[in-house]
Amino acid sequence: MGVGYSVYFTKEELEEYEFVTCLTSADILDLYRKFKLLGGHRAKESAPAGDVERNGEKKAPLKALLSQKEFIYNPFAQRLCEVFSSEPAFSPTWGDLNFDEYVDMYNCLSPDAPKDVKMKTAFRLYDFDGNGYLTTEDLEWLLRTIATPPGKKSGKPRNCLFEQHEINDIVERVMRDCDIDGNHRLSYAEFSKVLDRVPGFTTRFCIDIN
């Protein structure tokens, strides 16, 4: 547990985090310890004298977030931060997170998060253009991201282990099997039916706080 970090939260604040998430008070304190090491902090007037919390909120920058050990080999690390970030899309600060956004990300990917929360998070993650559907372009980008070796930039064709014809074949099969209404894109309802058939989805779709 983040020893000493309870000074930055009231008992009521920790209870509220426990009420709205599936995380414990110990989890919240551990996350705040990590968050401060990444360069971010909450705005807290009651923080110890001279502490940065008295100066207002500061978001953890994307570059620092991606340096966490649980993200180093995760091909979706940057995309995850972008999904939970309130910064404008494609701006220089897109992917930066405040503490509540940081907590929200870990909560949605917690081993204890409900299945529907994880499904909705996965849908947002794979909806690269943010139009509320998974299009053929989204599925292509998803496959390129999965098939990009560690250390290479995700999504770039030259870094992908799949050939274009292999990607086309997979996307065509997915649409044929899952696009129930035949509009060449997957709604959340169609996507959730697919995930319902994936064994172990809830146990694999998670990240560890520690």
pLDDT at 139: 96
Do the domains 116-210 and 11-108 match in fold? yes
pLDDT, tens only, 110-143: 999 999 999 999 999 999 999 999 999 999 999 9
Q: What is the mean pLDDT of residues 145-169?
A: 78
> Distance between terminal CA atoms of the chain?
10
pLDDT at 155: 55
- For 11-108, give the CATH class: mainly alpha
pLDDT at 53: 60
Distance CA 198, CA 177 (A): 14
Residue 2 has pLDDT above 80, yes or no: no
pLDDT, tens only, 31-69: 999 999 999 998 875 556 666 665 678 999 999 999 999
Distance CA 54, CA 192 (A): 44
pLDDT at 158: 60
pLDDT, tens only, 66-95: 999 999 889 899 999 999 999 999 999 999
Decide if 124 contacts 83 (C-beta within 8 A). yes
Q: Measuring CA to CA, which residue among 95, 129, 127, 124 is closest to residue 109?
A: 124
> Structure pTM?
0.88
pLDDT, tens only, 182-193: 999 999 999 999
Residue 1 has pLDDT above 90, yes or no: no
CATH code given to domain 116-210: 1.10.238.10
Domain boundaries, the chain: 11-108, 116-210
